[in-house]
Amino acid sequence: MPKPAIVLLLFSLVIVLTVAIVATLPQAPRGPVVIVIDPGHGGHDPGAVVAGVQEKDVNLALALCVLRKAQGRADLRVILTRTTDLYVDLVERVRIAEAAGAHLYLSIHANYHRDPTVRGVETWVDTSAGGESLRLAREVQRALVAATGAPDRGVRRQTLYLRHTSLPTALVEVGYLSCPSERALLLDSTYQEKIADGILRGLLAFLGAP
Ligand SMILES: [Zn+2]
């Protein structure tokens, strides 16, 4: 074989190998991270109702606030399971997240207790939840307590519809509507901003985003 032919052959081989190696390298994530926020209840299901305040309305206001805060970030895309006073089937809510290719799902709620002195933040995972859901719950709980200064009632487990997906999922109870002083805070726009900031910070911590 003439020398130029050998050089050409080797050169071609290097090109083919390079293309093959690059093709097998893990792809960098493309586009923004998708987050699904669920304003709990809605429509015919008001959730807790105390002194004329319906939980579904508080949940929606908070979810919309998180959405607004995330809109300035090119690395995030926030999708809400509802943007109006509408009931969405619970399993359908997690299906929305799966269909959107979500990295996580967080449901926002406000709490109720017979004892009006009970107040504070707690975050729930399903009894079958894996490590990622637990990590999500802990980050949201920590950041929300830090942002609001509300009592930390911890991360807890109970049977939830969140078991119908393998996505990282958690349900945050941002405060007690049954506690008059906390109810007033939950209706206050400045405090709502603090809650939304805390939730967003918790989600970013979970995602490892700055
Ligand atoms: Zn609720």
CA of 54 to the centre of ligand 1 (A): 10
The beta strands (E) that lie in 49-129 are given as 49-50, 53-54, 76-80, 104-111, 121-126
DSSP 114: S
The Cα 1–Cα 5 span in angstroms is: 7
Q: Does the residue 20 lie in any domain? A: no
| 197-33-92 Cα angle (round to 5) | 90
Q: What pLDDT is stored for residue 194 in this prediction?
A: 98
CA of 183 to the centre of ligand 1 (A): 14
> Residue 82: pLDDT band by 50, 70, 90 thresholds?
very high
Q: Model's pTM, two decimal places?
A: 0.86
9-28 pLDDT, tens per residue? 666 766 665 556 555 555 55
Q: Does the residue 189 lie in any domain? A: yes
99-109 pLDDT, tens per residue? 999 999 999 99
User: How many domains, the chain?
Assistant: 1
Q: Please name the amino acid found at residue 161.
A: Y
CA of 98 to the centre of ligand 1 (A): 22
Q: Does the residue 24 lie in any domain? A: no
Domain range for residue 101?
29-207
Residue 170's nearest CA partner among 40, 68, 76 is 40
The Cα 75–Cα 136 span in angstroms is: 18
CA of 93 to the centre of ligand 1 (A): 14
CA of 173 to the centre of ligand 1 (A): 7
CA of 103 to the centre of ligand 1 (A): 23
- Domain with residue 114: its CATH number is 3.40.630.40
Q: Does the residue 127 lie in any domain? A: yes
Q: At what angle do helices 131-148 and 189-207 cross, to 10 degrees?
A: 140
CA of 42 to the centre of ligand 1 (A): 10
